Amino acid sequence: MKVNVKKFCATFSLIGLVCAAADGQAATNRQAPVSLFNGVDEVAFACTTSKTFVNIPGMSRSFNQGAGAAEEVISMLQGSFSFTPTSPFDTAFVRLLIDNVVQGPGDQVPILSTDGTSITSAVGFNWQSPPLAPGAHTARVQWRTDLGSEMCVDARSLIVLHR
């Protein structure tokens, strides 16, 4: 029996693509007008060993969403983070809240030490909110570790892009 190699490869390539697409998670696409930003910078060194989420000092910013339909906002955090795990299994996390509601994609891992050694790194995060109604809102960044190791941040900024 003679096998047409081109048809064989094309068929299995197509099956592979369909299976990969079915297994993957769809991206969330958003679009919104941006005409303003509110931001805050902080340079005071701060640390936490909290196992529950607590506010990162200085990383809270109020903003007013412009009149009209509810629209998404973009929040961006940049900071010089360090993490000194007491266990190679500890992990540090950050998250963004707007009006005390956790924003997607949820908890983020800023620094991960795979061998238990201390790491310092400049790290950045972006969050896209669901549509927010016009009016006053507050964005706040929180942090924690799983096992209580020390996580610190030095220079940092939070910027909220909105309408």
For 63-77, how does the pLDDT look when each residue is reduced to its tens digit (9 = 90+)? 999 999 999 999 999
Strand order in the sheet with 92-98: 54-65, 135-145, 92-98, 101-102
Candidate CATH numbers 2.60.120.760, 3.10.20.30, 1.10.287.130, 3.60.90.10; the one for domain 36-162: 2.60.120.760
Question: CA dist 1 to 4, 102, 132, Å?
Answer: 10, 60, 64
- pLDDT (tens digit per residue) in 84-93: 888 878 888 9
Six token digits for residue 23 = 């297994």
Query: To the nearest whole number, what is the mean pLDDT of the chain?
Result: 83
pTM here? 0.79
Q: How many CA atoms lie within 13 A of 112 on its CB side?
A: 4
- Alpha helices in 24-136, H assignment, sequence order: none
57/34 Cα distance (integer angstroms): 27
